[in-house]
Amino acid sequence: GNSVTQMEGPVTLSEEAFLTINCTYTATGYPSLFWYVQYPGEGLQLLLKATKADDKGSNKGFEATYRKETTSFHLEKGSVQVSDSAVYFCALSSGESGTGTASKLTFGTGTRLQVTL
Amino acid sequence: DVKVTQSSRYLVKRTGEKVFLECVQDMDHENMFWYRQDPGLGLRLIYFSYDVKMKEKGDIPEGYSVSREKKERFSLILESASTNQTSMYLCASSFSGGGGRTYEQYFGPGTRLTVT
C-alpha cells in the first residue's frame, strides 16, 4: 500500500535559518505529491504540489522537487520566519483516474516547525 | 474563496452519547472526506464520499458512520461515543480526479471532540 515517511519533529530554528524537512514515499504507479501546512488552531491548507517526476512545486519561498529515483519530496526554504511556525504534512495521491479514489490522500505524520527570533 | 465549514470548533460529549459532526462546502465539490488527527499519527481517513448518497470506508471506519444526503453536506456520526474517539476531526472536500489529474483537498478548521 501507499505510505509517507516524514522526519520527526519538532524542528526548532532561528529566524533566517535554512529549512529542510525530509519526506519519502512508497506508492504504486505515478503519484502526485503535496505539502500541506497547518497553522495553530486552523485546518490544513495546500502549500505546494508536484504531479510528475522532476517537477518542482513552490510557494511562499518554499520549494520541493519530485525525485522519483529516490522516492523523495523534501521541503526546503532558504530563510524561515517566525510566521512559518506550523505543522507541515507531506502527502501523496495515487488513485486511479476517473474515479472517486483519484483524490484520496495518504499523509505523513507531520513535522512541527518552531522558528524563534 | 473555497470555504469548508464545520459545525463546532469544540465539543464535549459523554461516553455512550450519539454525536453528529457536520461539514458544509460551498464549491460544488464531488468528493468529501472525514479524517481524525492524533499526535504522532498524522491524519487518518475515516470515510469519504464521491457523490450524494455514496460513501466508502477509509482506513479507520470502525465506530463511525456517515451520511451525505446533499452534495454540499457530509455528516460524521459516532453512534455511541467512546473515550478513544477523543480527537481532532477534520473535514475536507475536492473536485473529482479525471484524466489522471489530482485535485487538492480543501480543509475545514476542525472540531476538537472530547469524550468523557
- A100–B51 C-beta distance less than 8 A: yes
Over residues A86-115, the pLDDT tens digits come to 999 999 987 654 455 557 889 999 999 999
CA distance A100 to chain B (A): 5
* Chain B CB within 8 Å of residue A27 CB: no
Rounded Cα gap, residues A106 and A117, in angstroms: 34
Bridging pattern class, strands B42-51 and B19-25? unpaired
Over residues A36-86, the pLDDT tens digits come to 999 998 899 999 999 889 999 999 999 999 999 999 999 999 999 999 999
Positive or negative torsion for Cα B43, A42, B107, B90: positive
Rounded Cα gap, residues A94 and A105, in angstroms: 8
CA distance A28 to chain B (A): 14
Whether A94 and A30 have beta carbons less than 8 Å apart is answered as yes
